[in-house]
Amino acid sequence: MSFWCKRENAQSRTQSRTQSRTQSQTQSKTQSKTQSNVLAAETILPKIAVFEVTYRCPHRCAFCYCPWENAQDWPKDELSTEEVFSALEMLRRCGVRQVTFSGGEPTQRPDLRELLLHARSLGLHVGLISNGRVLDAEWLDFLRPLHVQLSLSVPGIETFEQTTGVSGVGHVLQLFSMAKERGIKTCANVTVSRTNLPELYENIAYPLIYGADYLLLNRFMPGGRGMQHTELLLNADELDLMLETAEKVLSRAGKKGHVGTELPYCVLRDPKKFRFLQISSRCSAARYFCALDPGGWLKPCNHSPVRVCRFDEIPDQIPAHPYWKRFLESDYLPEMCTDCRHLSLCRGGCREAAHVFGGSLNSPDPLLADISKTRT
């Protein structure tokens, strides 16, 4: 081999190594940028989302908070099956790991089973909030292998028909037993108003006796159809009764539960005494969970009247969107709360209930209208 051949081979090897290093560095930068973008996308949203997949519902609950029930101009556009698939994929891409299907009443969608299957295929944990009206043994057999967490609404026993406009509490209670036989975890979803407060002990006890594993307790919140029934709002004394009754039933049943909407810390007489009922005073909207409405619009929480952006705009709009940032930065405190000594524990109760009831995001929580019972 001649010198020139050796030199050309050496130059070739040098060029090859240089090109290899350059390509490697370029690929590394590209991969790093891609990983950075993926990481950014995966941290945009909280890990839990409530997907309100339909506006439709056969019940006419007086306490219904769904914002479209009190807004004539709210668009009634529902996503198609394929669009819901795309929305689920976007939620997964942006950091969501658990999706709970609700509505309206989610079983009003003929394609609900397809939606549940697709969510599970994405590796998402799946929950279902239902009034139970159309659920039966065959439905439960479908849900069991998907490991769906089933939450059934029980807004009364004797007062069930008065509250919902339909009969059928016996069927809902039987569903708890049928689910337990199949190993399906269930939650009793009890919304408390002045209508069912007198029978709250029984209202909580019956689902637990029939097999419910857990209690989700919600105070009546103004919003949606509930804005036409503000007389159902609990005052501070009635709230005390609600909490103490729930704690008593849960302790006797050996079960756990939690209050689903934040309570202003100042209205709690003795928050540390609750061992079976978990209570929070810090707004979790946009931080720990979010919601998607039937039209595919993102909201900070399911009580929110504000549609922030469409699901396909999430990577571009969130979290820089000014309304979304107010939740991330706790920029919503009522003036009456700014100097409170409990500020490290509380953010003024439910912010979107305050928004709906008081007209602005930093309005006082509806409970604070009865400030005579608050602690100083």
User: How far is residue 45's CA from residue 68's CA, in Å, rounded to a whole number?
Assistant: 24
Q: What is the mean pLDDT of the chain?
A: 88
Q: For each of the chain's 376 residues, which pLDDT tens digit applies?
A: 432 333 334 444 444 444 445 455 545 444 544 444 444 567 899 999 999 999 999 999 888 888 877 777 777 789 999 999 999 999 999 999 999 999 999 999 999 999 999 999 999 999 999 999 999 999 999 999 999 999 999 999 999 999 999 999 999 999 999 999 999 999 999 999 999 999 999 999 999 999 999 999 999 988 778 788 889 999 999 999 999 999 999 999 999 999 999 999 999 989 889 999 999 999 999 999 999 999 999 999 999 989 999 999 999 999 899 999 999 999 999 999 999 999 889 989 999 989 988 889 999 999 886 554 444 4
User: How far is residue 153's CA from residue 175's CA, in Å, rounded to a whole number?
Assistant: 11
Query: Is 370 strand, coil or helix?
Result: coil
Does residue 123 have a cis peptide bond before it, meaning omega lies within 30 degrees of 0?
Answer: no
pLDDT digit string (tens) for 43-58?
899 999 999 999 999 9
Q: What is the DSSP letter of 364?
A: P
User: How far is residue 272's CA from residue 278's CA, in Å, rounded to a whole number?
Assistant: 10
Candidates 3.10.20.440, 1.10.240.10, 3.30.70.260, 3.20.20.70; correct CATH number of 43-373? 3.20.20.70
pLDDT digit string (tens) for 160-190?
999 999 999 999 999 999 999 999 999 999 9
Q: Report the 10 Å Cβ neighbour count for 228.
A: 13
Q: At what angle do helices 200-210 and 236-253 cross, to 10 degrees?
A: 30
pLDDT of residue 13: 45
User: Can you give the pTM of this predicted structure?
Assistant: 0.86
